[in-house]
Amino acid sequence: MKNISKKIIIGNWKMNLSYKDSVILGKKIINNLKGKRIKNEVVILPDFSALSSISQIIKKPLVLGAQDIAKNKLGAYTGEVSLESLKQLNCSYILIGHSERRQYFFDDEMIADKMKNVLENSNITPILCIGETLGQKRSGKTLLVLEKQIKTAFSKVGKLTNKKIIIAYEPVWAIGTGRIITVADAIVIHKKIKSLVEKICHNNLPKELGIIYGGSININNFSNFKDCSDISGLLIGGTSLKAGDFLNIVNNF
Ligand code: PGA
């Protein structure tokens, strides 16, 4: 199992922008990066309504991803968006199990089905989000929680040996709160996540694995996470909505 070859910066826009504002932000980032040589992989995750319009104008090196995926293939599943559509819209990444989705919309078990759907039926890279709540951290359960989340997520997947997988460690207590993990703690947990993947997928390891950090990253703290071989990138929420700040991180991480 190799580390991903390039570090990755992902902007998760959540449902913060309307369709029109998403396209405006997308254009700003696309125009700024168009034709530039960027050493990192750069991904934006607009909401579903904006994917089609942005997919028509997006240019390398920027790539597109989705914020979630249906667990089923095509069919009578009102309100869901299929993997087939995301393939046609040239999504290279799909976020699975973001803590806001886990909290409001589905249980951990569904994550196993979503991972299976993406990995078995496409070459799209899943970005699996894991992380503990403040209560779990305070009661010393962080590693147990992460282990259970990883075990569940990989419980239904088939062959992984030709797959790339990103795991985003996002402590729930750090998302949108301004509270941030220390780099030293992040490194310890990232190493642990890697060894959990090695244990859980022991004879079926993914070809490439990237473990990235997310939670209250901004222009003042991102550089602390730079140059750490155990931190393969960043998942950025609020700060990714400001084109200037996002591009600053993209250019300097
Ligand atoms: P935040 O969100 O950067 O606003 O904390 C991160 C995320 O939820 O992916």
Mean pLDDT by 10-residue block, N- to C-terminus, for the chain (253 residues)? 96 98 98 94 98 97 97 94 98 97 84 97 98 97 97 96 98 96 97 98 97 98 95 98 98 95
Q: Tokens in use for 165?
A: 């997988």
Q: Whose CA is nearest to atom 9 of ligand 1?
A: 237
Contacts of range 135-141, beta carbons closer than 8 Å, 24 or more positions apart? 137/171, 137/173
Ligand 1, residues at Cβ distance < 6 Å? 12, 170, 175-176, 214-217, 235-239
Q: Which atom of ligand 1 lies nearest, measured to the CA of 240? A: 3
Q: CA of 8: how far to CAs of 21, 58, 240, in Å?
A: 24, 17, 14
Query: Residue 69 class from Cβ within 10 Å (0-12 exposed, 13-18 middle, 19+ buried)?
Result: buried
Cα-to-centroid distance, 84 and ligand 1 (Å):
27
CA of 224 to the centre of ligand 1 (A): 17
3-class secondary structure, 16? coil
What's the pLDDT score for residue 103? 87
- Known catalytic residue: 98? yes
Please tell me the distance from the alpha carbon of residue 232 to that of residue 213, in angstroms, as a whole number: 8
Q: Is 190 a catalytic site residue?
A: no
CA gap 144, 162 in Å, rounded: 28
Structure confidence at residue 29 (pLDDT): 98
pLDDT given for residue 105 in this prediction: 82
pLDDT, position 109: 82
| pLDDT recorded at residue 225 | 97
